[in-house]
Structure 1
Amino acid sequence: MTGRIFSIFWMVFMLFFAIPFPMLLYYNIRSESMPNPIENDPLISLALVTLSILLWVTLLIGYYYKWVLVNFAIKRNIERLNTTGIPREAKILAATKIPDTYPGCDTYNLKIQFKNLVDSEITHQTAVNDAKPYERRYEAGKRVSILIDPEVKRIPYFIFASTEVSIRKMTILLASLGWLVLLSAVAAYYIYAYQTESEGMGWRFMSIGHPLLICPAVLLFYRFLLAFIAGKLSGKPSEKFLIKFKGIATEAKLLAARQTGTYINEQPMIEFELEFRDNHYQKHQVSIKKVIDLLALDITKQEYISIFYLKDNPQRVAFAQDLNEINGEF
């Protein structure tokens, strides 16, 4: 609960500096010193207008995909997995019921254990909606059939063999309406800005500091920044899922562990130099950077660390502990 409140706080905080703050700054400065649009180069102003439109279009396309289209993509991928997925049998290690999630079915958080695509045993945490709770299929100790994407390229990377998928029309409708409201707000702001600032001289009022340009630029910057930080801290999620579902488990010898000088939330980033032999008994040396909790620094003193590596590219590795902690998809 605390983590969710913290996330909401930072979301509102970042949103303030992306939209209200640039507007307050721009219009306060403009009211104190009215600019003379005739002094601006019309070609530069037109270029800035075009750039702002491109930024908004990029942003809105991303939102539409995330809010609407991704649901159809997931549905299509689930239907594909039902025919092309690689079957595996998974043992349920733990099952926790989530109360009042979806009407008409029970929802469980599961911890399951199964062999991946190269027969290395892995554990995974996921959620499942059970439309037939009276069959009691999802209880600790029981076994369930799953289907894994042979390429591990598209979400979901695996499904339960009994999965049935449908699109909630009301959810899609509300998401589409929300997107249309956002689109209308952006279009209305262009009209408002033109009517109140053009002074009969077209788009010459457009400047590098105008909210029409700054707001989408900041929102896109946030998207790339968060993706970059997440990639630096824990690697790309798709990369980790690929190694987890197609990687070979082994023990790597710890050659060295040293701090990089980078700290995230006062926790040091450690660079590990590891050595291991692949399934062909070829020796490999790799380096992995990882942010370590201060209470878990004992890992730097271990002689061997469990890892997974890709058979086709042994330089792509991940700590087994990190892979066990990722969840979802599905």
Structure 2
Amino acid sequence: MKFMIVFWGAFLFFFCVPFPIFIYMMTEEVITGPRNSLAVSYGFLGLSLLIWGYILVFFINTLFIKTFKQRSTIHSILRNGIPRDAKVMRYQLLKYSPKTNMNAIQIVLSFPNLRNTQIEHEMMFHDSKPQEKRFDVGNHVKVLLNPNVSQEPYFILNDQKVGFNASGMMLRIVFIVLLIAYIIGLYTYFYRRESFDFGWQFLTFMHPIIFSGVMTLIYVLVFQLIVGKFFKNKNEERILFAGRNTEAHILSVSETGVIINDQPQIMFQVSFKDFRGNEHIATYKKIVSLLNLSSVPKKGTIEIMYDENDPKKMMIPKMF
């Protein structure tokens, strides 16, 4: 995992920093006069400032603001969270650190959600007291649910500690400082090198001031798309923690044609009655492992969870 992070970090750094500058230097024609009109040049300058401003805000928000907001939310849950008794259904040791005597573990907990519907949820964390074996299968632990499902996390352990990783925060600060220094250096260097008393009229779209920002922006947008679409479905998690369950009749099951990691996406169309007695027809798409494809039900009933305020939003919590 660390290798992949380092690899993609180096890949991103190369194509966003030295690559645009190298291409520009190799193909640049020496021109001592203006390359564009004053209006076009200032348009490019404004575009570059917008791009770099968005990138800077994105990283500051991702690395700092979201972290502080999550810390504040955890403190709020510790004060006002709704207590639940959770049972450990599965336990997996991921890594043991002899220096700190801590286990990195992955467990599945079963507990009632905000609507008292029994759910299962997987979580990973560091167990600071592995000798107590608190998370062995069958044991019960206390959790606190977040009454505000518009904020993450949706639940925490009752005795969860809140703190910052000092070295991690320092690395984030160093990264932001280097990013700001790079942006300032980019504008300063090329202005002194190419302005020739014509101001910013040397700017073109392929100039490193703009193109380096465009390349970085593309990676930022791709990252947001991947994380939002494949790694975390917030809508499903909200339904899991605040939704109601019911039995639904399967109307149809079909493949959508979408394949992710050689695994097909399946679409379910179901009909069900909500807790008010109203009938609804809804669809749900899910990536299903090839190993479990034969066990996908084609007819009959299936347990679903739905949003009581918008029953069209539903999910199948237990997938075969």
Does residue 1:240 correspond to 2:219, yes or no?
Answer: no
175-184 or 33-42, which moves further after superposition? Answer: 33-42
Separation of aligned partners in 2, 1:94 and 1:69? 33
Q: CA offsets, 1:244-303, max 9 Å, x none?
A: 101122332221233444444454444332212222332210122334444444326343
- 1:273–1:91 CA distance, 2 compared to 1 (3 A): same
The Cα shift of 1:15 comes to 4.9
- 1:39–1:141 CA distance, 2 compared to 1 (3 A): closer
Task: Please list, as runs of the form range in 1=range in 2, the aligned pairs for 1:292-311 lying within 5 A after superposition.
Answer: 292-298=288-294, 299=296, 301-311=298-308
- 1:7–1:141 CA distance, 2 compared to 1 (3 A): same
Task: Point out where structure 2 has 5 or more consecutive residues left out of the alignment.
Answer: none
**One-letter amino acid of the structure 2 residue matched with residue 28 of structure 1:** M
**One-letter amino acid of the structure 1 residue matched with residue 74 of structure 2:** I
- Tell me the SS of whatever aligns to 1:38: coil
- 1:262–1:12 CA distance, 2 compared to 1 (3 A): farther
Contact 2:32–2:196 (8 Å) recurs in 1: no
81-90 or 45-54, which moves further after superposition? Answer: 45-54
**One-letter amino acid of the structure 2 residue matched with residue 256 of structure 1:** S
Q: CA offsets, 1:78-132, max 9 Å, x none?
A: 1110111111110112333431188364443222111111111111111233444
- Tell me what 1:66 maps to: 62
- Tell me the SS of whatever aligns to 1:204: coil
- Tell me what 2:152 maps to: 155
Contact 1:72–1:167 (8 Å) recurs in 2: no
Separation of aligned partners in 1, 2:235 and 2:251? 24
Q: RMSD across aligned C-alpha pairs, in angstroms?
A: 2.8
- Find 1:312's aligned residue among 292, 309, 314: 309
- Tell me what 1:29 maps to: 27
Does residue 1:103 correspond to 2:100, yes or no?
Answer: yes
Q: TM-score, normalised by structure 2?
A: 0.86
- Tell me the SS of whatever aligns to 1:199: coil
- Find 1:78's aligned residue among 63, 74, 77: 74
Number of corresponding residues: 318
- Tell me the SS of whatever aligns to 2:312: coil
**One-letter amino acid of the structure 2 residue matched with residue 22 of structure 1:** P
- 1:147–1:101 CA distance, 2 compared to 1 (3 A): farther
**One-letter amino acid of the structure 1 residue matched with residue 222 of structure 2:** L
- 1:246–1:76 CA distance, 2 compared to 1 (3 A): same
Does residue 1:215 correspond to 2:220, yes or no?
Answer: no
- Tell me what 1:49 maps to: 45
- Find 1:286's aligned residue among 273, 279, 282: 282
- 1:228–1:101 CA distance, 2 compared to 1 (3 A): farther
- Tell me the SS of whatever aligns to 1:258: strand
Contact 2:191–2:199 (8 Å) recurs in 1: yes
Separation of aligned partners in 2, 1:18 and 1:253? 51
Q: CA offsets, 1:157-176, max 9 Å, x none?
A: 11111122123334323321
Q: Percent identity?
A: 29
Separation of aligned partners in 2, 1:251 and 1:11? 46
Contact 1:153–1:238 (8 Å) recurs in 2: no
Separation of aligned partners in 1, 2:59 and 2:154? 23
- 1:226–1:178 CA distance, 2 compared to 1 (3 A): closer
Higher helix share: 1
Q: TM-score, normalised by structure 1?
A: 0.84
Separation of aligned partners in 2, 1:232 and 1:79? 29
Contact 1:278–1:314 (8 Å) recurs in 2: yes
- 1:42–1:101 CA distance, 2 compared to 1 (3 A): farther
Contact 1:96–1:110 (8 Å) recurs in 2: yes
Contact 2:143–2:157 (8 Å) recurs in 1: yes
Task: Please list, as runs of the form range in 1=range in 2, the aligned pairs for 1:157-172 lying within 5 A after superposition.
Answer: 157-172=154-169
